[in-house]
Structure 1
């Protein structure tokens, strides 16, 4: 898959919802603001953890001492830092309300009253000059498609911990991204505790809903027909962690790790899915019209997550991080439970709590 297209699809069906998202963002360009971001909080690094060397897609990087000014070029890397009590000085915008500057509702408590980080944008490439201006001593890029040329350029500014080469870009498991970030800032043990706590919440949810086991699921967005997220996408992994099995339309496809594109007419292939999780189902009227006539749709076996209903949940569902997962599970699990029962009279609850 073309890297640019993959980067686009990580942000859902963005062309279809752009007007609504831009309206939510407002007219102010936060990326040009004067803020220089927060700093490390009271959570201390383990000085004995340094120097630490981390292997990644482009080799390895050694962090000599506890960083004080961290820039995130990964689209959701800030959450793992915030979970450790570290506020980055710069974060990279993905989607949602720009005025929040990368600090979403699930991260507000961890953020506290620190100074907001500078919001970077990578739509036209990495903003090298702005990153240099932040004088970072560590650059983190886990949920990213960072290329080798930009890695080499950024490495002249500060040590760069790039994404793993063991997975396609934007496909690292959230546990590995979080642990890598924790290791880089000298808090590996603390991060492991956080990861263990969150994975236990997921396991508890799966145990509480044995009806998920054996049911097929698909995570779908209308985009040039359909795009169905594959088994290596963090959001699809969340479904399998909860007990679901991904639908054969994705698991039997070639080169489907990140996802597959299908024509709108192929919506009919999902007629027997146990649960369909849609991003903006009605963004494509042809897709929605075919879906409405299928058995799974008639049985109410679907969840529609869209920005108009709940913008924070819409964004949070894609932030598969230690802070976002508990926020999402509280809303997502009841929705899945209502959808999976196959009774059209069961109303899928709102995501607003």
Structure 2
């Protein structure tokens, strides 16, 4: 499995329009409660961990691209910022954090009972400056911040609060490596390995149940409307391509044309060609406008019925509406930046059984 996560920082801010629908899907019904399910220092803190495995030795130096911090002992109160796979990694380990961002608890693969135990779900989002005061108020002894730090001064301010976990370089890492990165300082390395293996097996089972995908090409795109355009999601080497190949599809030769720029202009719509074309639309108006364009209608997948249109539900951004008017789960965020041991078993099943149900393949 080749899916990766992206850093917040530079890569996150390069294309805010590209992630807009995903963010809407996350924030549309997210809690903005500043309250806590348990106060710091109470008899039942929300940040308790499973039993230690006894394989991690402390003090443990946490090396990151922005600097180093040291864990003197096993942490118990974990704050988490950055992309949702960070929180997913904690859920996979059954570690309840004391601080999280408002987008993250409300996704389809989230264990709601587990999320309700988070002490503070901040009103801050990934688009906002880091809420150092809010994090400090929860008295964390570890801050999971993979992809959540843009500049070294941010690291320094976080390190004044608690040891900081991030990657050693600013490069993207596979979700498997993220899961293991989070597991080690928590003395849950074996649990992290198990979570990775279980997720990979779950995706393999979905692929096995859908042999019709094997060897076919697929294009997944997202239409953000006239101002932002059509975004090609299955870019060569991307998270989305990795997920689709894990489901049995083969890489689309056209995907390499979008490595440097994923916007599909009217002139290069022909590069959307594949055995199956899937387009997620930000609104019904965007869908109608796109489908009325002669160049789009003439695409082979569209003309031959090998085309799946999914539209963001008007009153529930966590759902999409298919051509039959039925609602399905919106896992666009998983495809864009949210691949994890928690999201993939849920999201790949949604794609195979809901998004592509009854889809015609050449």
Shorter-chain TM-score range: 0.7 to 0.9
Give a deviation string over 1:115-141, Cα, whole Å, max 9, x none. 553224232321112112222111112
> Paired residue for 1:71?
79
- Deviation at residue 89 of structure 1 after TM alignment: 0.9
2:341 equivalent to 1:322: yes
1-structure distance, mates of 2:250, 2:199: 21
By how many angstroms is 1:221 displaced?
A: 1.6
The alpha-carbon deviation at position 264 of structure 1 amounts to 4.1
1:239 aligns with 2:258: no
SS of alignment partner, residue 106 of structure 1: coil
Instruction: Tell me which residue corresponds to 1:50.
Output: 57
Matches within 5 A, 1:1-353: 3=11, 5-6=13-14, 8-9=16-17, 11-13=19-21, 24-25=28-29, 29-30=32-33, 32-33=34-35, 39-41=46-48, 43-51=50-58, 52-76=60-84, 77-94=86-103, 102-108=105-111, 111=114, 114-119=117-122, 120-144=124-148, 146-163=150-167, 165=169, 167-168=171-172, 172-223=173-224, 224-229=228-233, 230-255=235-260, 260-270=262-272, 272-280=273-281, 282=284, 284=286, 285-290=288-293, 291-298=296-303, 299-302=305-308, 304=310, 306-308=312-314, 311=318, 313-315=329-331, 318=334, 319-335=338-354, 338=357, 341-342=360-361
Q: Is the helix fraction higher in 1 or 2? A: 1
Deviation at 1:42, TM superposition (A): 5.6
Q: Distance in 2 between matches of 1:165 and 1:320?
A: 20
Q: Determine if contact 1:307/1:314 at 8 Å carries over to the other structure.
A: no
- RMSD (Å), alpha carbons: 3.4
In 2: Cα distance, 1:226 partner to 1:267 partner: 9
- Structure 2: runs of 5 or more not aligned: 1-8, 40-44, 320-328
Q: Is the 8 A contact 2:276 2:360 kept in 1?
A: no
Q: From the superposition, tell whether residues 59 and 252 of structure 1 become closer, same or farther in structure 2 (CA, over 3 Å).
A: farther
How far apart in 1 are the matches of 2:270 and 2:149? 32
Give 3-state SS (helix, strand or coil) of 1:25's partner. coil
**Alpha-carbon shift at residue 201 of structure 1 (Å):** 1.4
SS at match of 2:330: helix
- Pairwise CA distance, 1:160: 1.0
Structure 1, unaligned runs of 5 or more:
95-100, 344-353
Residue 13 of structure 1: SS of its match in structure 2?
helix
What is the number of equivalent residue pairs in this alignment?
Answer: 324
- Cα offset for 1:251? 1.3
**TM-score (normalised: structure 2):** 0.75
Question: C-alpha separation between the residues in 1 aligned to 2:164 and 2:285?
Answer: 38
Q: 1:275 to 1:123 in 2, by over 3 A?
A: same
SS of match in other structure, 1:49: coil
Query: Displacement, 1:317?
Result: 5.0
TM normalised by structure 1 equals: 0.77
Alpha carbons of structure 1 residues 225 and 310: separation in structure 2 relative to 1, 3 Å: closer
Structure number with the bigger relative contact order (C-alpha 8 A, sep ≥ 6) is: 2
